Chain A
Amino acid sequence: MRPPRALRSVPLDERGVALVSFCGHCGTRPEPSALAAQPSRVCGHCGLGLVLHAGGDVAPRRDQPFLVVDATLSVCAVSAAAEELLGIDETQAVNKHIADFLVPADANAPSAEHLLTLLIEVAGGSGEPRTTVVRPRHEFGVRFRARIGSCGSPQAALLVLI
């Protein structure tokens, strides 16, 4: 006989979207019970990232490459998949400007769509999740669609390469 399913509260972001927890390094989504058992924010799966929260429509799936950028456009976290995809090392990338690694793929895009503007808006807590196209700096012909939304805490912009 299956045990009865228990109701649990689901935290929502300001847009009413369910918040999802994920590791800032491996992207694993911890179970709520595992989160409660782990008093620190350190991922219980890989131990190399902090557990962050983002809306379910923004949060990365496991092994999806992503970066976390703060309102000063400094890189705060690089997932393991993003390290592999972009050929960078998180320990070397943190505190550097995001433009050192990713730039808008279309330099002629309207300013509202500009990557940096989007990141600043989102990291400041305003703005719906957006999608734009980026490319690695110094590389041409390689493009990624990027989903940008808010994450935390503390509040920052989450850039998921899709």
Chain B
Amino acid sequence: MPAAQGGIALGEFASGWARADHVPLMRTLKTSEAAALLNVSPNTLRAWERRFGYPKPRRTTGRHRLYTHGEVTALRDALRQGLSISTAVSRAREALSANTDTLVGALAGFELDRADGAMESALALRSLERSIEEVLLPSLDELGERFGTDSAPWAFAARWADGWLRRAQRLAPPPVRRLAVLVGDATRNELDPDALATRAFELFCGRSGAPALALPIGGLAGLSDIVASLSPDAVVIAGGHDSDEAVAQWTYRVRATAGPLPVVLFRRSMLSASIGAAGGQVLGEAPFGAHRRLLALVGGRLPELRDDASLAMGDHDDERREAEA
């Protein structure tokens, strides 16, 4: 677990994705949700907490329990093969700590082979999506916390992670949906922490059959040709490095070619009011949840999104053109 997660203030959310400042990663479950995932009653879950100390929930300011999704799913998997709750708890604890610790240790020691091995081990216990969200990204977060994201160890780890994600992307199955996603890459470069989440997001889209093409926000020349060729169903602005102005210009160019596409934001806060026309709905911070929400959006079954993020570009298109004129 990233070190900074220990200081999360839990007051402002119920279940969903726990986030502290700049530390977005931990998915949480309410007692009823965790109990449903494990097919037990909430009372049983509380009895396990008393007897085994696992899963260990955090508390909201209202004293409600919030369970870590990773802990609950690790226990669920271990229960399927266990002879007792104790052994399942023991196995779940090991499974959770081993891969993350190994990966952090390998990357901190600049051992690429061992880092690859840690991910292989993680994949033996989890799906690719969970391995990325529960092992790879938290490990990188921990390294970022430990060394800083402007350090050489971070650069080493981020480059390895970027390469690992790209390799996984090449192994994604061929697209089966008639959907295409255009990602406006507003991250600084491959060393930007948001860039790794964006790679993971692209990977998840590709694996679910909706290929995502990432293009830099700064590249306007020839953009119309690519957009016309790709015919995207949705545009995702990923990352918070590039300015709102640059994002607005890029988005306007895309929409001028492809028409009024839905524009959603990933790992980027709402755009400023002056160019809010380019802003859209905000996907979650975690890549897997974000990709699920995007598919729901494109498929017309949008689950609840943040109310404050309900701007659609079409509503502001005319205002924007007037402003630009």
Contact of B85 with A25 in the complex, beta carbons under 8 Å? yes
Interface of A is mostly: loop
B51, B82, B90: the one within 8 Å of A50 (CB): B82
Contact of B90 with A42 in the complex, beta carbons under 8 Å? no
Query: Provided the pairs A40-B79, A42-B79 are in contact, do residues A90 and B40 lie with their beta carbons within 8 angstroms?
Result: no
A38, A48, A50, A93: the one within 8 Å of B83 (CB): A50
**Which of B40, B43, B48, B84 gathers most chain A CB within 10 Å?**
B84
Contact of A76 with B87 in the complex, beta carbons under 8 Å? yes
Is the CB of A141 closer than 8 A to any CB of chain B?
Answer: no
* Complex: chain B residue closest to A68, CB-CB: B83
The residues in A between 31 and 45 inclusive whose CB is less than 8 angstroms from any CB of B are: 38-42
| Cβ contacts under 8 Å, A156 to chain B | 83
Query: Provided the pairs A40-B79, A50-B79 are in contact, do residues A76 and B84 lie with their beta carbons within 8 angstroms?
Result: yes
| Cβ contacts under 8 Å, B41 to chain A | 47
**Which of B40, B79, B86 gathers most chain A CB within 10 Å?**
B86
CA distance A78 to B83 in the complex (A): 10
Contact of A77 with B83 in the complex, beta carbons under 8 Å? yes
| Cβ contacts under 8 Å, B87 to chain A | 76-77, 94-95
* Complex: chain B residue closest to A46, CB-CB: B47
Contact of A68 with B38 in the complex, beta carbons under 8 Å? no
CA distance A156 to B83 in the complex (A): 8
CA distance A132 to B82 in the complex (A): 26
Contact of B40 with A50 in the complex, beta carbons under 8 Å? no
B44, B51, B83, B89: the one within 8 Å of A42 (CB): B44
| Cβ contacts under 8 Å, A70 to chain B | 83
Contact of A38 with B39 in the complex, beta carbons under 8 Å? yes
| Cβ contacts under 8 Å, A40 to chain B | 38-40, 79
CA distance A76 to B80 in the complex (A): 14
| Cβ contacts under 8 Å, B81 to chain A | 154
Could you list which residues of chain A lie within 8 angstroms of chain B, going by C-beta atoms? 24-25, 38-42, 47-50, 52, 68, 70, 76-78, 90-91, 93-95, 154, 156
20 A-B contact pairs sorted by A residue (CB < 8 Å): A25-B84, A25-B85, A40-B38, A41-B79, A41-B80, A42-B39, A42-B44, A42-B79, A47-B41, A47-B44, A48-B48, A48-B51, A49-B84, A49-B85, A50-B83, A50-B88, A76-B87, A90-B86, A95-B90, A156-B83
